[in-house]
Chain A
Amino acid sequence: MLRVELRAQPSRVWSYASPLLALVLTVLIGMALFVLLGKDPLRGLQVFFWEPIRTPYALGELLLKATPLLLIALGLAVCFRSNVWNIGAEGQFVLGALAAGGVALLAGPDSGRWMVVAVLLAGVAGGMVWAGLTAWLRDRFHANEILVSLMLVYVAIQLLGFLVYGPWKDPLGYNFPQTKTFEAAARMPRLFDGSRLNIGLPIALALAAGIWLYLFRTLSGFAQQIGGLAPAAARFAGFSSRRALWIALLVSGGLAGLAGALEVAGPLGQLTPYVPAGYGFAAIIVAFVGRLHPVGIVLSALLMSMFYIGGELAQSRLGFPKSITGVFQGLLLFSLLACDTLVAYRIKWGK
């Protein structure tokens, strides 16, 4: 019989090895799934791990998709490290997209380039407001943040639906539920010709560095983490748990909102009912697989982006439903959680 035994110290080796082992497990299960469904597993591997990096254009798409995942997951890392369970990042992403879209719609043909800044700031504000709602209800009424933030996802999606089916619908859009395409002045500047990659990527990378500095080099970041690890110790040290709650939710809401702004004013270029693509939920997995550490999250965002692009390719090349991405995402998180047992425990045979 297998049994687990508590380690005296969490294993450093396993805390790095566990995400890798989880990835290997997910790939193995994925290949088994391909075999079961009568597809060539090697072709599957190629579609998921080689095609997305084969050409410069594909690489650009990979980075483009990794950007919102990276941004949202960075915010969630701050939340989860503070023991604040914000799982409504999807809603904050949608609200950011809505606010950014609202500003972008104001741009005319002769608006200046400063519109881009306004659009991004609106996105941040939108996400912050939505997350702030959760923080307020938690702070003032002790309402559980998991359920509140999640319920607000559904509310945000309905709000988006109302706007694109109603007041914001493009009058020249053949009655499709979408806004008009944003003016060029409000769109994110691209980095290179021949790629859709835009300024979102450098912004996200800079913010990753910023979050690293905040978490590991400032007193406030330290207080956040102590509050998460040892609430009693944080209280004795005089770190306010209410402050930690607000910071965690506002930072993650702002980052998710920024991701929403970059998405609508970047690759999408307009608001449609398809803005919520599940990035807010996928980013939860990104955050955990990246060990809640900015550097790890950069890597895991790339991995998750591969899953997304691989899923799309599996649909067009192999005739799979695109939702296979969701299966792999779930499997990855399951495997990670199981492998993480090895960090705190030793697995032993015997009675």
Chain B
Amino acid sequence: MEQSALLLASSLNAGTVLAIAALGLLINEKAGIVNLGAEGMMLCAALAGFATVVATGSHTLGLLAGMLAGLLLAALFGLLVIWLNTNQYATGLALSLFGAGFSAFAGTGYVQAKLPEQGPFAVPLLSDLPWFGPALFRHHPLVYGALALVLLLVWWLYRTRSGLILRSVGESPESAHALGYPVRRIRLGAVLAGGALCGLAGAYVSTCYTPLWVEGMIAGKGWIALALTTFATWRPARILLGAYLFGAVTMIQFHLQGQGINLPSQFLTMLPYLATILVLVLISRNPQWIRINMPASLGKPFYPGA
């Protein structure tokens, strides 16, 4: 009983990181931009958040600093991709490589640092329920924030005019341009929002999820988040579901070890990566399915002409 509640709780927590990053990337991709730099942005944001908490003691400021770091790097990416029409894949890769290098370089002084304790979180009354309390109601506020974000995105993307415009930019930037919408500014906005959310996720990792800083600590979560957008066929609600599923896969290794299952730890660590591959294979099997759901001009540059 107690075990299963803890497994659910830790899966939700782990899934939240992936969900926030993947929702950010979803906004990018709905506007037609693939940002392979998620991993790099999350790493820099993780460091920025960690360093801010070390300096100020405030976890909220840490999360904000992470968002700012993600935003700045996304702005650089956006400038290159949207105004200089550089290849989106190559530029995203550059961002990931730079982010990994820069965070390792700038973070050397923080490897031994410790963060102040954060008080336990509890939703009043509900957190005292047996089983449900520890499973669902003793989380960091951001875990609930991710839920709210999904609802917000579903409403915004599919129920508002501005959401429709964003999607039109991702489907056919030429038409959106012909209708007089500022395609490039809309895309930049989407890229910035995505960067800020990836930054938030990165900072959550280093300040709340595993409060420490080590080089490369994001360990592929940015890439898994990218895979999640495909897995979810670009639907916000499915992203949340997928993220929790992946959270569970990540967490199950610790529980298996706890159960005394004698598999070398390396094979357990492989699980999330293997699961990502498996999920990509399952979802991509039917190319029609992907083609229908994918924003039509995903990854294609837009040059408005003279």
Contact = CB atoms under 8 A, between A and B. Distances in A.
Interface string B254-292: 000000000010110110011011001110110100100
Given A142-B287, A143-B280, A154-B220, A330 B98 contact: yes
Interface residues of A, number: 46
A338 B264 contact: no
Nearest to B282: A141
A334 interface: yes
Nearest to A147: B227
A5 interface: yes
A142 B94 contact: no
Contacts of B305: 6
Interface in B212-258: 215, 219-220, 223-224, 226-227, 230
Interface in A122-154: 137, 141-144, 146-148, 150-152, 154
Contact of A141 (B94, B226, B285): B285
B294 to A, nearest CB: 11
A326 interface: yes
B185 to A, nearest CB: 13
Contacts of A323: 101, 104-105, 108, 215
Contact of B280 (A144, A155, A345): A144
A73 interface: no
B90 interface: yes
A274 interface: no
22 contacts: A6-B305, A137-B281, A142-B285, A144-B227, A146-B36, A148-B280, A151-B220, A151-B224, A154-B219, A158-B273, A165-B264, A281-B97, A321-B104, A323-B215, A325-B101, A326-B101, A326-B104, A327-B101, A327-B102, A330-B97, A337-B84, A337-B91
Interface string A295-331: 0000000000000000000000000010111111111
B91 A154 contact: no
A137 B277 contact: yes
B118 interface: no
Contacts of B267: 158, 162
B85 A162 contact: no
Contact of B84 (A158, A321, A333, A338): A338
Interface in A1-24: 4-6
A87 B226 CA distance: 14
A115 B296 CA distance: 53
A341 B267 CA distance: 44
Contact of B87 (A4, A331, A337): A337
B303 A151 contact: no
B228 to A, nearest CB: 10
Contact of B277 (A148, A328, A337): A148
Interface string B105-138: 1001000000000000000000000000000000
Nearest to B227: A147
Interface of A: 4-6, 85, 87, 137, 141-144, 146-148, 150-152, 154-155, 158-159, 161-162, 165-166, 281, 284-285, 288, 321, 323-331, 333-334, 337-338, 340-341, 344-345
Contacts, number: 142
Given A141-B285, A321-B108, 19 more contacts: A5-B306, A141-B280, A143-B280, A143-B281, A147-B223, A147-B276, A147-B280, A150-B220, A151-B220, A154-B270, A159-B266, A162-B266, A165-B264, A284-B93, A285-B97, A323-B108, A330-B40, A337-B86, A337-B94
Contacts of B89: 85, 146
Interface residues of B, number: 51
B7 interface: no
Contacts of A151: 220, 223-224, 227, 273-274, 276-277
A334 B92 CA distance: 10
A64 B298 CA distance: 41
Given A162-B264, A162-B267, A344-B85, A327 B98 contact: yes
B155 interface: no
B100 interface: yes
Give the dominant DSSP class at A's interface: helix
Most chain A CB within 10 A, of B270, B303, B305, is at: B270
Contacts of B195: none
Contacts of B274: 151, 155
Contact of B80 (A285, A288, A324, A334): A334
B284 A143 contact: yes
Nearest to A154: B273
Contacts of B85: 4, 341, 344-345
A85 B223 CA distance: 14
Given A326-B105, A327-B105, A155 B285 contact: no
A341 B108 contact: no
Nearest to B94: A333
Contacts of A143: 277, 280-281, 284
Contact of A333 (B36, B98, B219, B223): B98
Contacts of A325: 101
Contacts of A159: 266, 270
B281 A288 contact: no
A155 B270 contact: yes
Contact of A330 (B86, B90, B101): B101
Nearest to A87: B93
Nearest to B102: A327
A151 B40 CA distance: 16
A158 B108 CA distance: 24
A321 B103 CA distance: 11
Closest 4 CB pairs of A and B: A326-B101, A330-B98, A323-B104, A162-B266
A307 B95 CA distance: 18
B83 interface: yes
